[in-house]
Structure 1
Amino acid sequence: MNITSVIRSAAVAVTAALAMGFLAPAAVADPPQYRRLVGVGSDTTQDVLGALGSVVADPDGVPHSLLIGSYDATGSLSIKTRPVGCQIPRPNGSHAGIDALRNDIASGTHCVDFARSSVGPEGIVETRSTRLTFIPFAKDAVTVAVRSNSALNDGVGFTAEELRDIYTCALTTRGGVALTPLLPQPGSGTRSFFLRRIGVTEPQIGSCVDGTVQEHDGTALDTGGDIAPYSVAQYIAQTGGVVADRHGVTVLSRLEGVAPRVSGRLNTLFPFTRDVYNVVRTAELTGGPTPDPDLISAFVGPTSTVCAQAGLIQVYGFATLGSACGSTL
């Protein structure tokens, strides 16, 4: 049996086990061994990349039989990614992961190979020496979560205009409830995506907003007026028992009258959808001065070993991209 068949068979087994509840979510998703491709960054995609890391084989088995080592956004203050050296501060969020990759390129240490990102290349500043390519592998959506026992859970949801007013503190009450808007921590891709879609810049965030909450952690919503952006894929995975459940008693709200889920799956027609990415050095892609065959085979093109795991990606709440998966255009 060739490597591709082994990988696909393992993915099918893991997907079935997760879907049937035979596998419990791991408490810590940092890889227990050093791997050839090291990834850091986004909280949104940390779990699905951890799962992919458990089934994508390393073609030459060096330094391990598995290829991808994806380190969580939260946990210990630092991570060690290689046997020698490579102890770095743990990047928490998409922007922090991209910064870690840039720093690695600048220093030439090769401690980090890719950054997980839930935000695209819009607004990312590049230099000639740190050119990056954003490679999409799945689709997510972002809505807002509220507590199920709050009057904000009215079945109607919100409009983008209302959310803009809430996060600039122009709207401070709704239905007699005093609003307490929350935002993910600085460096979060979900934070920057959400603010861009509701038309609010960082300087426009109102003083009523708590902007220090770890993203996709529903337990942080502890009063009836709390409202926070939430990844639909993360919510599906959390409430489905696939990953550690952080949703608390939150529910996802409609946006512009559209439900974020259809038959339990992510609604790809939801107003706030986004691709999620693995970000790599452009120089290491085909045609670059230092192409990396392992990185290319893992991430590039719809037949890459990551894109081939469509079933596993869906188990973690994301929608698949079809032929657009792995695009480097």
Structure 2
Amino acid sequence: MRKTMGKPLAVAALAGSLVGLTGGAALADPPVVPNPGDIVGVGSQTTAPLFNQFSTDYNASLTAAGDTTSPRLYSFDAVGTSPIVLKAGTPPVARPTGIPTGLAHLHAVPSSVDFVRMDRGRLPTDPLTDTFVALAKDAVSWAAKSGGHAPANLTTAQLKDIYTCVRTNWAQIDPSLPNATIKPYLPQTGSGLRDFFLKTIGGGTPVVPGACVTTGVQENQGTDPVLNDDDVLVPYSVGHYVGQFYYGRSTGSDAPGALTVRAIDGIASVNTVNQSINAPFAATAWGRVLYTVVRAADWAATDARGTALRRIFGITGWICKSATAAADFKSHGFLGLPVNACGTTS
């Protein structure tokens, strides 16, 4: 990973070529106030940049086809100024800052929110009135400061020991590592990335973080000054990192900063040759499916909203079948799902 850092011009050139495959540069938040009939989403920051690009490209495809009446697609980031107006004619609301507040708006404000970006699967506590629509494949690893004290690899068991505070010094991981206190961090409570990480280090049973763990950093934003520390480690979406690092998807604070993602159980999380999530790593328990969540009644409806949702997110929809969306997935670091798995519902 550190050798790659020395090739910024090549990375920039590749990023530019991939961005050129899409309909244009995406914006963070809609450039206009969406109309009441448009399809509007909020939720996880992991896929926010991807959905910004989807919005740009899907709407451009409608315009290119001379379609002036179909609902447009818009997505609001989980970070940014607040309050925001989600649709014309609705009052300003506090910006939904992730999955919990995104789902709250989906359930309570149906006139304003049509879908929620999800970087976790269904939980037993999720209502059956929600439909999860499969989107793409991601993986989760851990990240640490380049040149810091953390090793290139940790095992799942070691990560569990670190986040339960059983091991609090790097020398306890390996005597050859510095005698320095480990500083584990987690994203905010309710983050899909956090929930997945804690469940995976627990072998399927969520781990309760120990007192040595600091909670509250924004997921996948390595520019946070507290993370610029030789002893810090934090969970990170591998797909989001690939998009940031290789394909120029870093914007403002949404960048890896000094962090690089590492290996788990001896398997590299990134394929530095293909510049993608490492497929063998994604095939382990650290791989995860990303979803879009909609109201079940909307998904089944034959009205304009239901038709638009299926046209965008369904098995034969634009996201799952268009070449432009496939290029968007690649340039944001995520892997496509097997044929006819994208757009399936649960």
TM-score tier after normalising by the smaller chain length: 0.7 to 0.9
Q: Is the 8 A contact 1:95 1:117 kept in 2?
A: no
Aligned 1:264-275 pairs, distance under 5 A:
264-270=275-281, 271=284, 272-275=286-289
**Between Structure 1 and Structure 2, how many residues are aligned?**
303
Q: How does 1:80-229 map to 2 (within 5 A)?
A: 80-104=85-109, 109-126=110-127, 131-152=129-150, 154-155=151-152, 157-174=153-170, 175=177, 176-199=179-202, 204-220=208-224, 221-229=227-235
Q: Does 1:239 align with 2:237?
A: no
1:104-148 Cα deviation digits (max 9, x unpaired): 2xxxx4110000000010233316xxx001111111111000001
In the superposition, relative to structure 1, how do residues 22 and 292 fare at CA in structure 2: closer, same or farther (>3 Å)?
A: closer
1:29 alignment partner in structure 2: 29
1:42 matched to 2:44: yes
1:324 is paired with a residue whose SS is coil
- Structure 2: how far apart are the matches of 1:76 and 1:208? 31
Residue 318 (structure 2) pairs with residue 305 (structure 1): yes
Partner of 1:4 in structure 2?
A: none
CA contact (8 A) 2:184 2:232 kept: yes
Q: Which amino acid aligns with 1:283?
A: A
Gaps spanning 5+ residues in structure 1: where? 1-13
Counterpart for residue 56 of structure 1 = 58
1:67 is aligned to 2:72: yes
Please tell me whether the aligned partners of residues 181 and 226 of structure 1 are also in contact (alpha carbons under 8 angstroms): yes
Alpha-carbon RMSD: 2.7
Query: In structure 2, do the counterparts of structure 1 residues 134 and 211 end up closer, same or farther at CA, with 3 Å as the change threshold?
Result: same
Unaligned runs of 5+ in 2: 1-14, 171-176
SS in structure 2 of the partner of residue 285 of structure 1? helix
Which of residues 59, 78, 81 is equivalent to 1:76? 81
Q: By how many angstroms is 1:202 displaced?
A: 7.2
Residue 267 (structure 2) pairs with residue 258 (structure 1) = yes
User: What SS does the corresponding residue of 1:280 show, helix, strand or coil?
Assistant: strand
1:4-31 superposed Cα distances (whole Å, 9 cap, x missing partner) = xxxxxxxxxx9945168997675x3344
Deviations along 1:268-304, one digit per CA (max 9) or x if unpaired, are 3213111111100111223789971011111111x21
Task: Go from structure 1 to structure 2 and tell me whether the alpha carbon gap of 1:285 and 1:22 turns closer, same or farther (over 3 Å shift).
Answer: closer
> CA 1:188 to 1:310, structure 2 compared with 1: closer, same or farther past 3 Å?
same
